[in-house]
């Protein structure tokens, strides 16, 4: 049977997701950086290979069980996403002179009255939220287009924040909705998306069921010329009145003089125009643009299609105060969103989490100079790993272990943990070595060690992986910030 899931369901889902950051018993979300090693065709412990693309052309992650597990294997660090780091957003549309914008209609996608064709916008859109019916001005004001001067180009930028309908010199009519604050501009404005929020003043001025715009579908003929006032707007509302202008026997303009209230359907009858003085007029059809629930501006998120949520997370250098949690020594190629991960067996709550493992070396013999992305081996145990960072000052080696040869599995195809005072050796380069300091059980740069070893602060495979993005490598540095803007569409 014909059926749809409406846009309101999408709004509902976006609201539920947004609320999950702050409600009682809220979920905890972390943005994760990972994949310090290059994308390549890698060899597994059974000698078969997995093609993972290349740095110049990384593969789209598969929505598979394995993908979720593998996301933890080469994770570097994670940062908590606070409720203040989220916002409803909508596609960004900058007002640009010479552009013909669509206007608001409540019936896009329905059949045009009297026929079987579908009501479409000038752009061809058959859904309001696919149409270009709103803009952001150079002053970061957002306006809804109510009238586009019969599909002509907009040449006068809308300005001002009045709650009344704004008419510009190019014949357009606009409704001011809200203004992006300085914070929204800094945190929730990207090339493609912009924050959406309801302005309380605009919402308070909105009138439920008022009608302000009428469109001439069919002009009719034979009517008495003149400006005919007091034409009733019929429907399920009350008190709506219009003025209809007839010239050359046809309707040429319709102005709403009293918007009325309570309309969910409305129309102006040909007979009422005749009664107002357009004697002998026949065939006139007028469409009334019924407004959304509450009136224009009552709920900007619902009215403008806010079924997108942006998460804005900044990784600032090594994240001052986080100790060794966030490495700036290596690049990353993956961004992921985690929900409700654990740390040390309990719900994660720290602002940042180190996702690598670590070894503290003894001062004697002097450890060598391990380098990023270098393979490391421990001959006695057979353990294999990959260097993420080496802190020579504190003699701490941070590493990952994946499912591949030379990155995490031993010669038997097993992933074995580094352990004991067995020498760790780097493969290639200067072949550095280091001896784990098994007498060391303390904290170094925020990392807690037991007998020379420190587990990842992010428990492997905990929580849910909600989003994964593979990308070309991003080089980090202590004096730069990586701003991750994740837009989720519902």
The residue extents of the domains of the chain are 26-83+315-350+460-478, 93-189, 211-290, 357-455
Q: How far is CA 295 from CA 121, 254, 265, 266, 305, in A?
A: 21, 20, 13, 14, 15
Q: How far apart are CA 59 and CA 55, in angstroms?
A: 9
Give the pLDDT mean for 400-420: 96
- Asked if the model's pLDDT at residue 58 lies above 90, the reply is yes
Q: Is the pLDDT confidence value at 323 over 80?
A: no
How far is Cα 314 from Cα 142, in angstroms, rounded to an integer? 26
Q: What is the pLDDT of residues 251-260, one digit of tens each?
A: 999 999 999 9
| Cβ 20 vs Cβ 83: under 8 Å | no
CB proximity list for 76: less than 8 A, separation 6 or greater: 32, 33, 34, 35, 36, 326, 327, 330, 332, 355, 356, 388, 400
pLDDT at 26: 94
320, pLDDT greater than 90:
no
Average pLDDT along the chain: 97
The side-by-side arrangement of strands in the sheet containing 241-247 is 226-232, 241-247, 250-258
pLDDT at 441: 98
The torsion region of residue 480 among left (phi > 0), alpha (psi -120 to 50) and beta comes to beta
**What's the distance, Cα to Cα, between the start and end of the chain in Å?**
24
The mean pLDDT of 89-113, rounded to a whole number, is 97
| Cα–Cα distance list, 26 to 23, 84, 339, 421, 486 (Å) | 5, 14, 10, 43, 20
CATH 2.60.340.10 describes domain 26-83+315-350+460-478: yes
If pLDDT is split at 50, 70 and 90, which confidence band does 144 have? very high
- Reply yes or no on whether the pLDDT at 285 is more than 90: yes
User: Would you call 104 helix, strand, or coil by DSSP?
Assistant: coil
Closest among 433, 357, 437, 416 to 389, alpha carbons compared: 357
């Amino acid at each position: 049977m014909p059926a749809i899931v409406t846009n309101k369901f999408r709004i509902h889902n976006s609201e539920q997701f947004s609320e999950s950051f702050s409600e009682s018993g809220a979920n905890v979300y972390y943005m994760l950086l990972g994949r310090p090693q290059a994308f390549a065709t890698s060899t597994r412990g059974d000698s078969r290979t997995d093609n993972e693309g290349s740095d110049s052309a990384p593969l789209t992650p598969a929505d598979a069980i394995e993908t979720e597990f593998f996301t933890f294997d080469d994770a570097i660090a994670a940062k908590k996403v606070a409720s203040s780091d989220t916002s409803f957003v909508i596609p960004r549309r900058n007002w640009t002179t010479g552009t013909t914008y669509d206007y608001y209609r409540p019936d896009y996608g329905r059949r045009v009255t009297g026929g079987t064709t579908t009501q479409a916008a000038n752009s061809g859109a058959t859904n309001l939220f696919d149409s270009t019916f709103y803009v952001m001005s150079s002053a970061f004001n957002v306006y809804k287009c109510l009238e586009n001067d019969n599909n002509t180009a907009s040449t006068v930028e809308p300005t001002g924040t009045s709650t009344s309908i704004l008419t510009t010199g190019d014949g357009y009519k606009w409704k001011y909705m809200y203004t992006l604050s300085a914070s929204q501009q800094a945190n929730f404005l990207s090339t493609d998306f912009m924050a959406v929020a309801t302005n309380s003043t605009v919402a308070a001025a909105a009138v439920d069921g008022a009608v302000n715009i009428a469109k001439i579908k069919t002009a009719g003929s034979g009517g008495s010329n003149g400006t005919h006032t007091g034409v009733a707007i019929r429907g399920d509302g009350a008190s709506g009145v219009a003025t209809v202008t007839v010239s050359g026997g046809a309707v040429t303009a319709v102005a709403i003089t009293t918007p009325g209230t309570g309309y969910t359907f409305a129309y102006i009858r040909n007979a009422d125009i005749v009664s107002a003085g357009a004697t002998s007029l026949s065939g006139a059809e007028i469409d009334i643009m019924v407004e959304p629930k509450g009136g224009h501006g009552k709920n900007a998120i619902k009215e403008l299609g806010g079924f997108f949520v942006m998460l804005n997370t900044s990784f600032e250098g090594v994240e001052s105060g986080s100790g060794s949690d966030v490495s700036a020594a290596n690049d990353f190629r993956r961004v992921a969103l985690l929900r409700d991960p654990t740390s040390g067996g309990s719900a994660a709550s720290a602002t940042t989490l180190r996702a690598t493992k670590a070894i503290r070396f003894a001062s004697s013999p002097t450890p060598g100079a391990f380098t990023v992305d270098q393979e490391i081996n421990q001959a006695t145990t057979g353990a294999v790993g990959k260097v993420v960072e080496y802190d020579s000052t504190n003699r701490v080696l941070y590493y990952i272990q994946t499912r591949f040869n030379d990155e995490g599995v031993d010669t038997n195809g097993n992933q074995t943990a580094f352990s004991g005072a067995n020498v760790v050796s780097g493969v290639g380069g200067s072949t550095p070595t280091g001896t784990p300091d098994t007498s060391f059980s303390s904290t170094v740069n925020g990392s807690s060690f037991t007998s020379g070893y420190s587990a990842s602060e992010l428990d492997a495979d905990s929580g849910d992986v909600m989003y994964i993005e593979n990308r070309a490598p991003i080089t980090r540095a202590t004096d730069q910030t990586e701003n991750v803007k994740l837009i989720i569409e519902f």
